[in-house]
Amino acid sequence: MTARAVKVLNTTGLHARPAGLFIETANRFRSAIRVAKGDREVDGKSVLGLMLLEITAGCELSIMAEGEDEEQAVEALAELVTSRFGE
C-alpha cells in the first residue's frame, strides 16, 4: 500500500467540481483508492463518499492506494489536491 498526506489548499474545499476531478483522476487507475479525513475513510472512487467527508479548505487528507499502479495513483491524486484542483 502507498499513502500520502496532503492538505486541501483551495479556498472552497472539495465541492462538486473538484470532487468530480478527483473521481475522474482516480478512475484512470486500476488500484483500489481510499481517502481518509480524521477517523473517517471512504472509497476514493465514490463521489458520494468524498462529499460525505465534508472536506473544507485546510483539511488534512490521507490518500491511500493498493494495487498494481498504486504509486502513480497516489502521486497523481496528491498533485491534483496540492494544485488546488486548477482553481
For residue 86, name the pLDDT band (cuts at 50, 70, 90).
confident
Report the pLDDT averaged over residues 16-30. 96
* Domain range annotation of the chain: 2-86
Report the pLDDT averaged over residues 66-70. 98
* DSSP secondary structure, 2-30, as one string: EEEEEE--STT-S-HHHHHHHHHHHTTSS
* Residues with active-site annotation: 15
What CATH architecture does domain 2-86 belong to?
2-Layer Sandwich (3.30)
- How far is residue 44's CA from residue 51's CA, in Å, rounded to a whole number? 11
45 pLDDT above the threshold of 90: yes
Report the pLDDT averaged over residues 23-48. 97
Is the CA virtual torsion 59, 15, 73, 65 positive or negative?
positive
The pTM is what?
0.94
Check if the beta carbon of residue 6 is closer than 8 Å to that of residue 63: yes
